[in-house]
Amino acid sequence: DQQVKQNSPSLSVQEGRISILNCDYTNSMFDYFLWYKKYPAEGPTFLISISSIKDKNEDGRFTVFLNKSAKHLSLHIVPSQPGDSAVYFCAASRNQFYFGTGTSLTVIP
């Protein structure tokens, strides 16, 4: 049973525009949420995270939003750059880490 879901397998965005990646989770006990970025033939690398006590965390071009009532988080990338093209995994944790199926982002120059 998938506790973390990313319903969009892929997303294409024009360079300079905003990319919005979405993630839903089922367990209200999760207390920490993360986004990882993965390039081909490499392991996922940590991008940004948010605690369940917050609703927004920003780091440069990346912002993560958390809506606990909807059990939904999103990652905004603005402006999007071609180097952002990768697979993005969201994860939720409480001792253990549960990952979504990933969204492949393509930023078109």
Residues that bind another protein (CB under 8 A): 2, 6, 31-32, 34, 36, 41-46, 49, 51, 89, 91, 93-102
Number of residues assigned to the chain = 109
Q: What distances in angstroms separate CA 4 from CA 27, 87, 93, one per listed residue?
A: 9, 16, 10
**26: Cβ contacts below 8 Å, ≥ 6 apart:** 1, 2, 3, 4, 5, 71
For another protein, the closer CB: 104 or 106: 104
**Of 36 and 85, which CB lies nearer to another protein in the complex structure?**
36
Q: In the numeric block, which tokens belong to residue 95?
A: 């001792």
Cα–Cα distances in angstroms (integers) from residue 106 to residues 54, 62, 84, in the given order: 29, 16, 8
| 14 vs 45 by CB, closer to another protein | 45
Name the amino acid, one letter, at 76. H
Nearer to another protein, 25 or 89 (CB): 89
